[in-house]
Chains A and B, each alone.
Chain A
């Protein structure tokens, strides 16, 4: 994945700052609660939501089960329609392919449609090293790029910014990149949008190369689909002479009919709209209409390894709607940056440790970045049981075991830093295996209860720093039960 996030601290440490940043907490709370409520309403309108969710899950599972066949069918269809298909095993290979394609056009500028796959591989940074400037044209991605910032949400990458901050970024940075912000720019949404429009229009009209991802690829026809709200995608997909699309291999659906399901569930789950404003679909190239050259770069980058895992593979059903981020109480308080990946929130917590492995500090901590409340699973339009995968990945962290890495079987060692926890879990298992041992422990706690401190030292501060300890009762229940025969002898 992107080099941008290398060296991230573990999740709890990264979240610490965000939790105490009241502006950020306010921005995130307002934004996630607004969209959460709207989504709930948009979903209630559909009488067969449960069936659509089940259908989406099955289509994705079927496609993943036969991914090899559908990918080859897609390659044949795209080639027949006049496109060229490239296969990229990892981020470096994908970046090299794209850079070479751009250089072959002789251009040094590209315009971009919002794309998670290109964020994942750090394409903009890789292109810059080759002297190629990539301009983000989605409003929120533009804010992030101008602010030399990182995205913190899949759908709304600048969710951590408020209007005042955006105005300041535009006024300060736009002139460095092209047309400056208008004089006396205020923070009203209309003025901010107009400033972005004017700035971007120049880029759209000049660019000879466009770069996109895709929400879906239809195997039977070789058609790619981009779903968006602002129309910037339509500009990038139709105006340039060359179009390069970098798409994860799991984005495939077998037929056009399958799109019917996702075109209903995706907009409602992501922007809470019945239908998104712009849906662009293209099949190879057409003379006199749109780009003359079309290249599709199919990206693996850990997806085949993820597919090998029986429990974890359901993460590949994801259609990047962000509904799970918007309902997640942990995301709302920790913010997107704490997840150390372009994929934040609950889906990021199961995707990043699978795509990147659990060897880094941040990736080993992500499966624990959840209270397992289950709100994410409830809203997921393709029924990814995120809590199930989180627990599965926790097991991988503490136990290690066999996993696939770059197509090879490797045996992971248990992650460092869990030795004390492992010993405690084993001790608890031992005690709970023997009711007598449990009882002896309970009695000891009850008899010494007057000596218990209100706060704990060392690691115990994790609890007692913010919460009182529960008082230990004079006798455990089982002693009362035995003494009174379950209260039958009238004793209290």
Chain B
């Protein structure tokens, strides 16, 4: 199976370790992973801030870059939801604006074959035990667009529960938003920070060493808040936990 890694611009620029972990994990599971060098950004920040027309060329570019692959895998619930949920909506809006079906037709091929990482593992590869080893206590925060947008359900938890050495702690108020919300974090920074601080306090109450999520943009906000609150916890992307093995353990 020829699979493209859609890493996302945030991960490419700031979190290359997550990208390396996805490559290591998928390769270990026998998947032939490619990273199309022409990939940039799905346009989510533009779209969600009200710049739909600026997002359209980025969506078309995405379709050009990834259209030929059998599957597109991304370690981001929100960028995955952008492609799966919002690309069709962009097409509909273009049609409503009298611009015909061109945008819909351009974006249609990438929509059904874009998968968030845990979805790809559980639904496409059919695995929950990926042979990982991670001897730490972990609490899992289901990020909003993965949880409510893509409907990831218990897939990430099932994957984590199968990791050798990992002790999973229940996160109180797990399904409450961490307060990142893209440009919301800047436009409403007081409320965003208050939500972040509450999320960190809930995470700390579990006594876990690691707060895990499937989206680094949320982890950037939660981790940045942990740093400021001088928390001992670490934010870690789920890919890095699943990639970790006894031979090559992640810290």
Take A310-B96, A433-B40, A470-B14 as given contacts and tell me if A368 and B224 are in contact as well, using a CB distance cutoff of 8 Å: no
Take A425-B46, A435-B37, A435-B39 as given contacts and tell me if A19 and B191 are in contact as well, using a CB distance cutoff of 8 Å: yes
On whether the beta carbons of B148 and A433 are closer than 8 Å, the reply is: no
On whether the beta carbons of B37 and A369 are closer than 8 Å, the reply is: no
Residues of B within 8 A of A469 (CB): 224
On whether the beta carbons of A481 and B35 are closer than 8 Å, the reply is: yes
Query: Which residues in chain B, 21-53, are within 8 Å of chain A measured between CB atoms?
Result: 23-24, 27, 33-35, 37-41, 43, 45-53
Let me know if B186 is at the binding interface, CB within 8 A: yes
Take A398-B50, A425-B49, A445-B13 as given contacts and tell me if A372 and B191 are in contact as well, using a CB distance cutoff of 8 Å: no
Query: Which residues in chain A, 349-365, are within 8 Å of chain B measured between CB atoms?
Result: none
Q: Chain A interface residue count: which class?
A: 35 or more
Residues of A within 8 A of B191 (CB): 12, 15, 19, 330, 333-334, 369
Look across to chain B and name the residue whose beta carbon is closest to the beta carbon of A338: B191
Look across to chain B and name the residue whose beta carbon is closest to the beta carbon of A422: B51
Residues of A within 8 A of B182 (CB): 371-372
Stretch at the interface among A51-59, A191-199, A209-217, A387-395: A387-395
On whether the beta carbons of B9 and A438 are closer than 8 Å, the reply is: yes
**Distance in angstroms between the alpha carbons of A204 and B207 in the assembled complex:** 56
A178-208 interface bits toward B, Cβ cutoff 8 Å, 1 = contact, 0 = none = 0000000000000000000000000000000
Take A15-B188, A19-B190 as given contacts and tell me if A374 and B149 are in contact as well, using a CB distance cutoff of 8 Å: yes
**Distance in angstroms between the alpha carbons of A411 and B52 in the assembled complex:** 18
Stretch at the interface among B114-122, B125-133, B155-163, B192-200: B192-200
Q: Which residue from A393, A466, A475, A482 sits with its C-beta under 8 Å from B228?
A: A466
**Distance in angstroms between the alpha carbons of A88 and B176 in the assembled complex:** 41
Query: Which residues in chain B, 46-93, are within 8 Å of chain A measured between CB atoms?
Result: 46-55, 57-58, 61, 89, 93
Let me know if B16 is at the binding interface, CB within 8 A: yes
Look across to chain B and name the residue whose beta carbon is closest to the beta carbon of A434: B40
Let me know if A277 is at the binding interface, CB within 8 A: no
On whether the beta carbons of A466 and B9 are closer than 8 Å, the reply is: no
Let me know if A468 is at the binding interface, CB within 8 A: yes
Let me know if B12 is at the binding interface, CB within 8 A: yes
Q: Chain B interface residue count: which class?
A: 35 or more
**Nearest Cβ in chain B — how far from A252, in angstroms?**
26
On whether the beta carbons of B37 and A476 are closer than 8 Å, the reply is: no
**Nearest Cβ in chain A — how far from B33, in angstroms?**
7
Q: Which residue from A15, A394, A467, A486 sits with its C-beta under 8 Å from B50?
A: A394
**Distance in angstroms between the alpha carbons of A432 and B64 in the assembled complex:** 13
Take A371-B144, A388-B89, A432-B40 as given contacts and tell me if A12 and B188 are in contact as well, using a CB distance cutoff of 8 Å: yes
On whether the beta carbons of A475 and B16 are closer than 8 Å, the reply is: yes
Look across to chain B and name the residue whose beta carbon is closest to the beta carbon of A484: B20
Residues of A within 8 A of B221 (CB): 467
Look across to chain A and name the residue whose beta carbon is closest to the beta carbon of B81: A374
**Distance in angstroms between the alpha carbons of A68 and B194 in the assembled complex:** 46
Query: Which residues in chain A, 381-426, are within 8 Å of chain B measured between CB atoms?
Result: 388, 391, 393-399, 421-422, 425-426
Residues of B within 8 A of A371 (CB): 144, 177, 179-182, 184, 192, 195
Let me know if A377 is at the binding interface, CB within 8 A: yes
Take A19-B190, A465-B193 as given contacts and tell me if A372 and B13 are in contact as well, using a CB distance cutoff of 8 Å: no
Residues of B within 8 A of A70 (CB): none
**Nearest Cβ in chain A — how far from B25, in angstroms?**
12
Most chain-B Cβ atoms within 10 A of its Cβ — which of A396, A399, A477? A477
Look across to chain A and name the residue whose beta carbon is closest to the beta carbon of B187: A368
On whether the beta carbons of B227 and A372 are closer than 8 Å, the reply is: no
**Distance in angstroms between the alpha carbons of A426 and B54 in the assembled complex:** 7
On whether the beta carbons of B188 and A369 are closer than 8 Å, the reply is: yes
Q: Which residue from B14, B176, B187 sits with its C-beta under 8 Å from A329?
A: B176
Q: Which residue from A11, A431, A478, A487 sits with its C-beta under 8 Å from B188?
A: A11
**Distance in angstroms between the alpha carbons of A432 and B189 in the assembled complex:** 26
Q: Which residue from A12, A422, A433, A478 sits with its C-beta under 8 Å from B187?
A: A12
Q: Which residue from A397, A433, A466, A472 sits with its C-beta under 8 Å from B14?
A: A472
**Distance in angstroms between the alpha carbons of A375 and B148 in the assembled complex:** 8
Look across to chain B and name the residue whose beta carbon is closest to the beta carbon of A438: B40
Residues of B within 8 A of A486 (CB): 23, 33-35
On whether the beta carbons of A428 and B47 are closer than 8 Å, the reply is: no
On whether the beta carbons of A432 and B58 are closer than 8 Å, the reply is: yes
On whether the beta carbons of A433 and B37 are closer than 8 Å, the reply is: no
Residues of A within 8 A of B183 (CB): 368
Closest 10 CB pairs of A and B: A371-B181, A394-B50, A467-B224, A373-B177, A468-B227, A466-B193, A477-B16, A477-B19, A374-B148, A373-B144
The residues of B with any CB-CB pair to A shorter than 8 Å are 7, 9, 11-17, 19-20, 23-24, 27, 33-35, 37-41, 43, 45-55, 57-58, 61, 89, 93, 96, 144-145, 148-149, 175-177, 179-197, 220-221, 223-225, 227-228
27 residue pairs bridging A and B, Cβ less than 8 Å apart = A11-B188, A12-B188, A330-B195, A334-B191, A367-B50, A369-B191, A371-B179, A371-B195, A375-B175, A391-B47, A391-B48, A391-B50, A394-B48, A395-B51, A397-B50, A399-B51, A399-B53, A438-B41, A463-B186, A467-B193, A467-B224, A467-B228, A473-B15, A477-B12, A477-B13, A478-B37, A481-B37
